[in-house]
Structure 1
Amino acid sequence: MAFDNKPKPDDRSDNAEKLQAMIDDTTENIAKAEQSLDFTDSDQQRQQIEAKNHRRRESIESFKAEIQDET
């Protein structure tokens, strides 16, 4: 039995737009997380939020570098 599987075409025409949307979403998540810091009394939770925001900022830098590669 033969399969006629063909890969989908590699369409990268809108990658920069998608990456910018991811940057915007990540920036919004950082802001929401920082607002939540005002409502937590737990040092452990505060450290987790700050660590996650640090990783988010690193991701944003990676997204920006990838946008430069795409354009």
Structure 2
Amino acid sequence: MAKPDNRADNVEHLQEHIQNTLQNLDEAEEYLNEFGSEISSEESSQIQEKNERRKQSIENFREELKDEANR
């Protein structure tokens, strides 16, 4: 049997996702700032690409958060 659709805590979960993603983004940027000259350009590019995906995810989470808050 399927679980009932309980959206009561969606806003809270989305806020947690945003905070976790922002923290990961900040940590990756700090890593690049500290060790950027010591890592390969490939690794640096991969981290930068992942950060771009994180930024997009944050935007998507915020849009979804707005939708949930308006319900």
**TM-score (structure 1 length as normaliser):** 0.87
Tell me which structure has the larger Cα radius of gyration: 1
Gapped regions of structure 1 (runs ≥ 5): 1-5
Report Cα offsets for 1:5-52 as digits up to 9, x if no partner: x21111001101100000000000001111111214211111110100
Matches within 5 A, 1:19-38: 19-37=14-32, 38=34
| Runs of 4+ residues over 3 Å off in structure 1 | none
Identity %: 45
1:39 equivalent in alignment to 2:14: no
Count of residue pairs brought into register by the alignment = 66
**How many angstroms apart in 1 are the aligned matches of 2:52 and 2:3?**
35
**Distance (whole Å) between structure 1 residues aligned to residue 59 and residue 41 of structure 2:** 27
TM-score, normalised by the number of residues in structure 2: 0.87
Equivalence for 1:68 = 66
